[in-house]
Structure 1
Amino acid sequence: MAGITICQSVLERISHSHLDCPICSNRFKHPKLLDCLHSFCTECLEGLRQTHDPDSPTLVCPICRKETRLSKDGVSALGNNFSLMALVEEFNRQEELLRVLRSKVRCQQCDSMEEVVFKCTDCDHFMCLKCKEVHEQLENSENHRLVAISDPSIGKYPIGKTPQRQRSEEVRCKKHGDLFHFYCNTCQVLVCTACTALDHHSPEHDFVEVSSAEESCRKELQDLLCRVKRSKKETQDAMDLTDMALCKLKAAANQVVTEITEAANREVDKVRQREVALKRRVGQIDQDRSAVYDRSFVGYCAQLQHADKTITRVCELLEGCTSLELLAQKQTIQSTLRAAADKYSPPKLDELFFGTFNFQSKEIPQNFGQFVLSKWKLRVEFGAGGDVTTSFQMAQEVSTFADGDILTADADKNKVTVHDPKGQFKCYFDGKTDQSEKCLKVPSSISVNHQDDRLFVVDGPVVKVFNQEQMHLYNFAPSLAGVCCEHEAGLKSVDDSRDTTEKIAEISTARQEALNLNTEPEAGTMGASEPVAAVGSELVAEVGSKATSDVKTEAVTKYIASCLAVADSLVALGVETKKVISLHNLDGSPIRTLPADLVEDNLAINKTKELIFTNYRRSRLVSMDLYGNKVFSVETTHKGKLVKPMGVCCEGHSNIYVAVHLGLGRGEGEIHHYDNEGRKVGHIIQSLYNPLGLALTPRGELVVADKNSVKIFQKVKCNTEISDLTYV
């Protein structure tokens, strides 16, 4: 008896928490679903509508206040919550069972005081042992199912009818009374066989079987769920950045107050009044901007909660509903998910995040202090239209010399041009030499080492190195030795069955012969050995005189570098075909080769010697250290949707700038800003034509190769005197 009491208490708590209508506080009766996925009794919704505005085309949810648009049929046309209906029915059965167990129910067949021990699930009668025997012998009830009171299945559905099956049988065409077997994509409704012949016939209507429609529906809903989850992640990142920016703001404000106080103490008589004014102004800035961060934080919390609730409700609905129920509620669920995905708004933290206090305390000028803000503004654009010889057809790579001159690689023209910082054309950079093999033929990736202004150019299978005066210095190629070591590929060709030791010995011999040669390859020859390139290049050694012509062509094709980055004393070459990054010293000697499955055409190195690269096809931004350990790998997104990343460059150790394509149309390019942990800070430049390559000048300006032109953006600092400071 104690166990029965506990069960009844549990059932009452469950009913009160989950099965009672929020309006009438009674057990749900014919529950209907609103667009916000909240459920209420049909009669309660009718009463709610009559109470407020019977003629209104919308119904406001009393819980979340979201509006649901009603059709001409009103509340009755809203979707039924079949899952909840089945749960209420099952709950009622269990309560009936508990009632029987708690009380001595009299036999409903003979009205005797005999103990009830069986129940006929077909007649829905309780009976004693004697009546049970008689019931089994009667002709009209000999096939009835008799269940013992102690049998747990007494509260469940009849044999052969699971909740989902019974619910499916209840969903029939209101017009023809048949079961639904098809789904009309044109009208977005379930139809029966008669409907397909009368009201939804081809070719005006496109209808498919329920199973096919269910599969398509689930796929669409899963895609929308992914959008919501990505939006949730971006919101979480924005919250983290907001918190970080707020901490930096507080620290900067505290530092300014301290510096102002120290300066004021040194010049007590002169600046005491100014000290008070400065503190008051700094406090106002802190207060104003803190309020902005606080509002952003609250908004992100609300977005996160809404996304969590939506994901939970839709996942529960997808797991518990049948095919017909899912399709019947498809539009409602899609509308809810789209609203949740589009609710996210990207953070606009750039100007606030990079604002800094700048206080000069060495001298005490009239303008005692300044507050510095910055944003990116176009300074100059060149190469668009005009002279055919100086205009760009496909500007895809940019780099800069230490004096500010800008180099641009045009993939269609196979030219590298040099412009001054003002965008004026200076010359073509093609290597001033009479030897054609030392000139540039098909330059692709370019990068400058700012320590000595050496220019590294990927030109076909080799990397050619020049000084600023266009004097050719040496060549080298990606390291094959590292590839073999890292990927256990051995040093065998496809048909070479020799072991690795023999192959290494032969390569060493071939390398030595290549080093001893005094001739260079003919122009356009892909397979010949290159003596200058042999500095640190295992590739050139392998394709030397000991390799066959077939192996030469295959090796050179496989190991052409797809991207290049140079920083301080390090050169990194990405080889997309082999999915590796080859690290070299400045003289071309190999260091090691790292596996990099996602490396493509764009690569950069930050101040902490981490490799940053993008993958256009998979929409990813990846960072790894010099030993192949992943620092981060994140999807590049904008407003919850994947975007395609292209060029990348780094400022210091914490700022990463990425050129992205929002869509396939022109004019949909942007520059996005990420921190050194892969979190998106925001977008700094918008409405670019087709951004491909990025580079930073020594002055901190951002150079963008925008296909038909090159654009230079500079940080415009808004210096405002603290004595007359306003919030920007």
Structure 2
Amino acid sequence: MAEAALHTETTCKIRHVHIECPVCLSRFTDSKILDCLHSFCLQCLQELIDKQDPKTDLIVCPICKKEMSIPDGGLSDLLSCFFLSSLVDDVINLEGPKEDINPPVSTCEGCDEGLEAVSRCVDCEVNYCKTCLTIHAKLKSHRHHQIVNAVGSSIERPKDKNKTETPKCRKHTDQKLCFYCDTCELLVCPKCAVLDHRASNHNLSEIDYSIRCYRRAVDETLQKFDECRKQFQKVDDSIKHSQQRLQLMVDQALLDIVSKEEEEITIKIRNASRLLQERVTQIGQERGMVFESIQSSNHDKMSRAEQIVASVNDLMQHADNFELLDLKPKVMHNLDIHKELQFQTVQHSKSFIGFKGHDIVTDADLGEILEEEKWEVKTEFGKCGGGEGEFKLARDVACFSNGDIVVVDSTRCLLSTFTSKGSYQSTGVQSGTEDGKLKQPFNVAVTSDDLLLVTDGQDVKVYDRELRYIRQFRPSQNQVEGQSESLLRGIAVDKKDRIAVADCKRKVISLHNMDGSILSTIHHDISNYCQLSVSSKERLIFTNYDEMKLVMVDFMGNEVFNISTSIDGKPLRSFGVCCDDDGDIYVSVYCGGYGTNEINHYDASGEHIGCVARGLYCPLGMTFTPTGDLIVAERYSVKVLHRL
């Protein structure tokens, strides 16, 4: 009973999935294969042709809509799908089993025909008739095999009742197909091999050898398609990121316009504001349509390619060897689609749109819409010296929620605070207890509740907004085997107030809670001047000054990318790094001398977008203000860059 149930389940599955024509929904009758590798009943295809224009010599596949030419001899000249016919027969046998009677016969093991004068290949241990022996001796892989006479011998070899019946030659109908000519890409019988394929440049192979080579070629091509799939995913992710950024920029520009409108409430101002909003919305929609069009085109290309791959995979799994070789030219031609998969990208710069309000607002002019991203120096303060508001080495900067700026001077071992416009406020040098004194300050970061974190030698020290010492913790308490000395450099805080600290001596980045307790430790090659930042997607970004690299890892330590910080192909050393709310990355780069350095812009995947600022003196640590301005510590001064 269990066996009967299994047959019923298998039969149903085969009947509904594999052997029903997609047009008539009945079992295939005289199934034919189109160039796109989809199969249909001959009668169903004929009915489709009868309904179309008689002058049309094309047939459209009912499934994938691909057009193809009708053979000169009509639809009956299309290739027959032998494996589907065999599958139908198998289902019929399962539904009503018939007794299989196959008496053993004496056959040649090359063509399955009756044996004549027999010779035997000692190396292969196979008996061949006279015709097959001639072909066997020509095969490259068998030319040195030993042949002995075995006249009068015969082998009683019962046929496997489950074996697919070998197709017959269309030209010599009494001969079975047993060789494949790679030169002509045709299945041939022994007579065809001797009469039509004897030329020295014809490459004849046995069926098993040809099918192995064929399957290997298909597998290699499918692997190339996998690379195309990865490329598609990368481009698609980049477009999605640009779409998200564009929407954020459109929303922000609209908010900026409304904010400016509220400052000057008049009818004309409102009208000007409405026109500006409509223009921003129009630009956003036009660019969004371009993004969607490119994305849709990429998806269509990928979808068509996936259909072809699915058809090929189905064919490779279910067709027999003879049918696979018969269809080899069409299959390989269809698989060439991976060479045509060129995915369009979008310009990242097109995801930017902004608004600049004029200082003096007229009745009909609030400001201008900015369609391209540009930066200008909004504020600059500080100079070389040892007085208030002066620096010996402005190493890093941080910004409180109210816009106040804190600067760490590594040479003078002090912290100074300034207003968002650059006015000096106060200095904390040796304030508080002995623990509160700074000895080797390097980098600073600010938490969500305005606590200031400073890396100082082996410790992370915590101060409030008035630069009063609160506490400290030492990441080195979690020892690395064989190392006890520690030297902290980069520090960053994410939106959940998880603290990341880079230790250049122990070559680790440690993640901590606000109380200093350890969350995890990431081992990586870290330089002595390592700067550290964290993105909104739980990614750590840091610079490697010595190796001229920009590295991104996730919180588990898995490397996302490791790229060279270069300009025009020339690797350059990188200093500071920070991320904006969109996840884009900004890196300060040393170009060879004071006054020649730059800040470069990368997207979240590490692709270089462009240069933000040139001709900087010595850009080191950087951070963003709550309003999106970029603060840069420039050794002897601090610049605040504003995006136009």
Q: Normalising by structure 2, report the TM-score.
A: 0.50
**% same residue:** 25
Aligned runs of 1:241-640 on 2, under 5 Å? 241-269=238-266, 271-339=269-337, 341-342=338-339, 344-351=341-348, 353-360=350-357, 363-364=360-361, 366=365, 368-373=367-372, 584-585=527-528, 608-609=541-542, 629-632=557-560
Task: Identify if the C-alpha distance between structure 1 residues 190 and 700 changes in structure 2 by more than 3 Å, giving closer, same or farther.
Answer: farther
Q: How far apart are the structure 2 equivalents of 1:318 and 1:700?
A: 61
Aligned runs of 1:146-295 on 2, under 5 Å? 160-161=159-160, 163=162, 165-167=163-165, 169-175=166-172, 177-269=174-266, 271-295=269-293
CA-CA distance at 1:240 after TM superposition: 2.7
CA-CA distance at 1:278 after TM superposition: 0.7
CA-CA distance at 1:244 after TM superposition: 2.4
Task: Identify if the C-alpha distance between structure 1 residues 245 and 95 changes in structure 2 by more than 3 Å, giving closer, same or farther.
Answer: same
Q: How far apart are the structure 2 equivalents of 1:95 and 1:612?
A: 74
2:511 match:
none
Q: How far apart are the structure 2 equivalents of 1:13 and 1:208?
A: 36
1:30 counterpart = 2:30:
yes
**What is the DSSP-based 3-state SS (H/G/I as helix, E as strand, rest coil) of the residue aligned with 1:65?**
coil
2:101 match:
122
CA-CA distance at 1:306 after TM superposition: 3.0
CA-CA distance at 1:85 after TM superposition: 1.8
Amino acid aligned to 1:213: S
1:553 match:
none
**What does the per-residue CA deviation read over 1:438-495, in whole Å, with 9 as the maximum and x for residues that have no partner?**
xxxxxxxxxxxxxxxxxxxxxxxxxxxxxxxxxxxxxxxxxxxxxxxx9x9xxxxxxx
Q: How far apart are the structure 2 equivalents of 1:612 and 1:30?
A: 71
Amino acid aligned to 1:322: D
CA-CA distance at 1:584 after TM superposition: 4.7
Task: Identify if the C-alpha distance between structure 1 residues 318 and 357 changes in structure 2 by more than 3 Å, giving closer, same or farther.
Answer: same
CA-CA distance at 1:74 after TM superposition: 3.6
Paired residues of 1:83 and 1:321 also in contact (CA < 8 A):
yes
Task: Identify if the C-alpha distance between structure 1 residues 2 and 197 changes in structure 2 by more than 3 Å, giving closer, same or farther.
Answer: closer
**What is the DSSP-based 3-state SS (H/G/I as helix, E as strand, rest coil) of the residue aligned with 2:541?**
coil
More helix by share: 1
1:69 match:
69
Paired residues of 1:610 and 1:623 also in contact (CA < 8 A):
yes
CA-CA distance at 1:333 after TM superposition: 1.3
Task: Identify if the C-alpha distance between structure 1 residues 352 and 195 changes in structure 2 by more than 3 Å, giving closer, same or farther.
Answer: farther
Q: How far apart are the structure 2 equivalents of 1:60 and 1:626?
A: 50
Q: How far apart are the structure 2 equivalents of 1:294 and 1:627?
A: 32
1:146 match:
none
Task: Identify if the C-alpha distance between structure 1 residues 298 and 652 changes in structure 2 by more than 3 Å, giving closer, same or farther.
Answer: same
Paired residues of 2:32 and 2:81 also in contact (CA < 8 A):
yes
Give 5+ residue unaligned stretches, structure 2.
103-157, 375-479, 483-501, 506-522, 531-538, 587-600, 617-644
Paired residues of 1:179 and 1:192 also in contact (CA < 8 A):
yes
CA-CA distance at 1:162 after TM superposition: 5.6
Q: How far apart are the structure 2 equivalents of 1:31 and 1:95?
A: 21
Paired residues of 1:611 and 1:625 also in contact (CA < 8 A):
no
Q: Normalising by structure 1, report the TM-score.
A: 0.45
CA-CA distance at 1:274 after TM superposition: 0.6
CA-CA distance at 1:222 after TM superposition: 1.7
Q: How far apart are the structure 2 equivalents of 1:69 and 1:192?
A: 29
Amino acid aligned to 2:46: E
Give 5+ residue unaligned stretches, structure 1.
98-118, 124-158, 376-485, 489-500, 502-567, 572-579, 592-605, 615-620, 636-644, 658-672, 685-694, 702-728
Paired residues of 1:357 and 1:370 also in contact (CA < 8 A):
yes
Tell me the number of residue pairs that the alignment of Structure 1 and Structure 2 aligns: 391
2:41 match:
41
Amino acid aligned to 2:560: F
Q: How far apart are the structure 2 equivalents of 1:254 and 1:354?
A: 12
CA-CA distance at 1:171 after TM superposition: 5.0
CA-CA distance at 1:61 after TM superposition: 0.8
**What does the per-residue CA deviation read over 1:331-367, in whole Å, with 9 as the maximum and x for residues that have no partner?**
111222223x245332321155543324336553757
Q: How far apart are the structure 2 equivalents of 1:34 and 1:58?
A: 11
Task: Identify if the C-alpha distance between structure 1 residues 173 and 209 changes in structure 2 by more than 3 Å, giving closer, same or farther.
Answer: farther
CA-CA distance at 1:289 after TM superposition: 2.2
Paired residues of 2:20 and 2:26 also in contact (CA < 8 A):
yes
Paired residues of 2:7 and 2:94 also in contact (CA < 8 A):
no
Task: Identify if the C-alpha distance between structure 1 residues 232 and 300 changes in structure 2 by more than 3 Å, giving closer, same or farther.
Answer: same
Amino acid aligned to 1:314: V
Paired residues of 2:246 and 2:351 also in contact (CA < 8 A):
no
Name which structure has the greater RCO, CA cutoff 8 Å, separation 6+.
Answer: 1
Paired residues of 2:60 and 2:66 also in contact (CA < 8 A):
yes
Paired residues of 1:623 and 1:630 also in contact (CA < 8 A):
no
Q: How far apart are the structure 2 equivalents of 1:172 and 1:75?
A: 20
Paired residues of 2:30 and 2:85 also in contact (CA < 8 A):
yes
Q: How far apart are the structure 1 equivalents of 2:558 and 2:527?
A: 20
Paired residues of 2:541 and 2:550 also in contact (CA < 8 A):
no
Paired residues of 1:59 and 1:69 also in contact (CA < 8 A):
yes
Q: How far apart are the structure 1 equivalents of 2:545 and 2:94?
A: 61
CA-CA distance at 1:55 after TM superposition: 6.3
Coordinate RMSD, CA, aligned: 5.1
Q: How far apart are the structure 1 equivalents of 2:311 and 2:373?
A: 43
**What is the DSSP-based 3-state SS (H/G/I as helix, E as strand, rest coil) of the residue aligned with 1:360?**
strand
